[in-house]
């Protein structure tokens, strides 16, 4: 089956091609992201494969459907960029990768936390210039600190397990409490208590109307002064402008993010020789107590291997008319 793969990088081409050896699909790689203006690239093709910053809104899906596309395969877990109601109306089936290495993102969250707390990024730059002074590099022990895990799904629980190993107090916030989190010594609490108590808040929840900008001007103002926030989940969970205000006042002690609400068009691209027009992002990276990585939390050999294998297996199942175990449904 022919599949147009949007938003491809070199590693996408290499790894999807390798995983495709046992499936035999005809993969057409496009660097451009999926949008209304690029949907015509899939004209006459039954399936497309998209990523986190592709736009599969109603208009784009209608154009795909008119061209004969009947399957949208997300090579990621999040699906807030797909209008599932529109897909159902148009007869387009949507699949995603429901499960890949939870360790990849959880470990990256820990890496951001440790680097932010112990000022590793600043020390690295100093020592390369021959500056071995310690002024300005003091952190705090994680042992005994309160760490809030907002979203205790697979990734959140792996993060919590690592934090338990540091000897942290674990506070959980989730609409669906999990016994495994509690078995780690974690305790579920309301958002107000978590905001008041936590020294570190790490975001691992999906982006929904209820969680959008769950970290906002109000919650930032009520946090412990100097608390750290880590976001490796979805950019829209954080009100970035409010975070900048809290950083400027010193209320927010530090911010480590691997996702950004306006990351489309910036992340996954080399813009080192360009002027980045996003003033908010430029202000963020100017803070010495902010670390921004370019949505690389998922980027391990194990995770990418699973993503490629799962995506192509779903395409093969669709081609054979078999049940789609990773299918998304409207509502």
Beta bridge partners of 149: 172, 202
Q: Provide the 3-class DSSP secondary structure of residue 4.
A: strand
CA 177 to chain centre: 22
Do the Cβ atoms of 244 and 218 come closer than 8 Å?
no
Is the backbone of residue 297 left (phi > 0), alpha (psi -120 to 50) or beta? Answer: alpha
- Of 324, 307, 306, nearest to 315 (Cα)? 324
What is the SS3 string spanning 305-331?
Answer: HHHHHHHHHHHHHHHHCCCCCCEECCC
Q: Provide the 3-class DSSP secondary structure of residue 103.
A: helix
CA gap 243, 237 in Å, rounded: 11
Known catalytic residue at 263: yes
Q: Which of 55, 75, 234, 261 is catalytic?
A: 234
Q: Which of 96, 157, 161, 295 is catalytic?
A: 295
Determine phi and psi for 138, rounding to 5 degrees.
Answer: -70, 135
| Strands 93-95 vs 26-29: parallel, antiparallel or unpaired | unpaired
CA gap 193, 271 in Å, rounded: 41
CA gap 243, 219 in Å, rounded: 10
Residue corresponding to tokens 């691997």: 258
Host H or E run for residue 27: strand 26-29
Using alpha carbons only, give the angle 278, 282, 288 rounded to the nearest 5 degrees: 160
Beta bridge partners of 227: 252
Contacts of 170 (CB under 8 A, 6+ apart): 147, 149, 160, 163, 164, 181, 184, 185, 186, 187
**DSSP class per residue in 198-226:** -SEEEE-----TTTTTSB-HHHHHHSPTT
Q: Which of 263, 269, 302, 322 is catalytic?
A: 263
Known catalytic residue at 295: yes
List the catalytic residues.
Answer: 234, 263, 295
């Amino acid at each position: 089956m022919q599949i147009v793969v949007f938003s491809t990088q070199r590693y996408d081409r290499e790894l999807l091609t390798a995983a495709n050896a046992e499936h035999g699909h005809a993969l057409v790689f496009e660097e451009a992201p999926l949008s209304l203006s690029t949907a015509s690239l899939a004209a006459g093709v039954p399936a497309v494969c998209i990523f986190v910053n592709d736009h599969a809104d109603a208009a784009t899906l209608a154009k795909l459907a008119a061209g004969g596309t009947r399957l949208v395969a997300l090579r990621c877990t999040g699906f807030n960029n797909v209008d599932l109601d529109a897909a159902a109306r148009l007869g387009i089936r949507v699949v995603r990768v429901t499960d890949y290495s939870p360790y990849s993102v959880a470990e990256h969250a820990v890496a951001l936390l440790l680097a932010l707390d112990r000022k590793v990024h600043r020390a690295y730059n100093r020592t390369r210039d021959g500056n071995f002074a310690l002024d300005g590099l003091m952190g705090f022990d994680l042992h005994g600190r309160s760490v809030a895990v907002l979203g205790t799904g697979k990734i959140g629980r792996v993060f919590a397990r690592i934090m338990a190993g540091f000897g942290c107090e674990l506070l959980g916030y989730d609409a669906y409490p999990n016994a495994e989190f509690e078995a780690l010594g974690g305790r579920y609490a309301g958002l107000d208590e978590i905001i008041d108590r936590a020294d570190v808040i790490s975001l691992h929840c999906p982006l929904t109307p209820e969680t959008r900008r769950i970290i906002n001007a109000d919650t930032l103002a009520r946090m412990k002064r100097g608390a750290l926030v880590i976001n490796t989940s979805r950019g829209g969970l954080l009100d970035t402008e409010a975070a900048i205000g809290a950083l400027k006042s010193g209320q927010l002690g530090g911010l480590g993010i691997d996702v950004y609400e306006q990351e489309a068009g910036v992340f996954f691209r080399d813009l080192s020789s360009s002027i980045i027009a996003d003033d908010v992002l430029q202000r963020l990276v100017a803070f010495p107590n902010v670390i921004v990585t370019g949505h690389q939390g998922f980027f391990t050999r194990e995770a990418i291997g699973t993503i490629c294998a799962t995506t192509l297996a779903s395409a093969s199942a669709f081609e054979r008319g078999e049940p789609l175990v990773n299918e998304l449904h409207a509502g």
